[in-house]
Amino acid sequence: MNFDFSRNHFELFGIPPLYQIDTIQLEQAYRDIQSQIHPDKFAHLSDAERRLSMQWSTQANEAYQTLKQPLGRACYLLHLNGVDIHEETNTVMSPAFLMQQMEWREAIGEARAAKDTSELEHLTGQLRTEIQAQQHQLADLLDKEKNYPKAAEIVRELKFMEKLREEINYALEALDA
């Protein structure tokens, strides 16, 4: 087995470095790698070789987890193209976007306080529509226009949208319990 740790996640699975990928192909490639490096097959190897195959397996797993999620894939593509999304330090989002975030949070908080499950489900639907629109935009920016700075902006926005999705789910779970 040829361990090449210098390959990026896309090269590892032999898929094109794009946002829009064939997720079935990705999964198949991941399974192929994992089946080749199953620990049982290395029982006869030396400790060093076993450690290496373990590392390989870990890397394949990490690569798969990263590429499987659209947002993880987008961040990784930006990283490959030298763009950091600065999620820890870039706090300057557009005021309109932040205002909208505040409104979403307030709406979720109010629905939760009022134990209004149907409103929360309505918000989930709205959120899904918005996330899908942003994902389409992201696909164009990353795969066609190669506009990475703008794509980084959308990724940052999507991070907030993911958080909203979590918040709605927490609220629904709390009301369910």
Partner 1 sequence: MSYSTKVLDHYENPRNVGTFGKDDEGVATGMVGAPACGDVMKLQIKVNKDGVIEDAKFKTYGCGSAIASSSLVTEWVKGKTLDEALTIKNTQIAEELALPPVKIHCSVLAEDAIKAAVADYKAKHGEMVETAACKG
Q: Which residue has the tokens 């926005």?
A: 157
Q: Does 33 bind partner 1 (CB under 8 A)?
A: no
- For partner 1, which stretch binds (CB under 8 A), given 36-44, 48-56, 79-87, 115-123? 79-87
User: Per-residue string for binding with partner 1, 158-177, x by CB under 8 A?
Assistant: -xx-xxx-x-----------
- For partner 1, which stretch binds (CB under 8 A), given 2-10, 23-31, 114-122, 150-158? 150-158
The candidate with the shortest Cα–Cα distance to 19, out of 104, 138, 127, 150, is 138
* One of 26, 37, 85, 151 touching partner 1 (CB under 8 A): 85
Asked if 87 and 93 touch (Cβ cutoff 8 Å), the reply is no
Four-CA torsion 98, 69, 138, 86, nearest 10 degrees: 50
* One of 99, 114, 133, 174 touching partner 1 (CB under 8 A): 99
Minimum separation from the CB atom of position 131 to partner 1 (A): 13
Q: Which residue has the tokens 């990026």?
A: 8
CA Rg, the chain, in Å? Answer: 20
**What residues contact residue 65 under an 8 Å CB cut-off, 6+ apart?**
72
Q: How many residues bind partner 1 (CB under 8 A)?
A: 25
Residues that bind partner 1 (CB under 8 A): 85-93, 95, 97-99, 101-102, 105, 155-157, 159-160, 162-164, 166
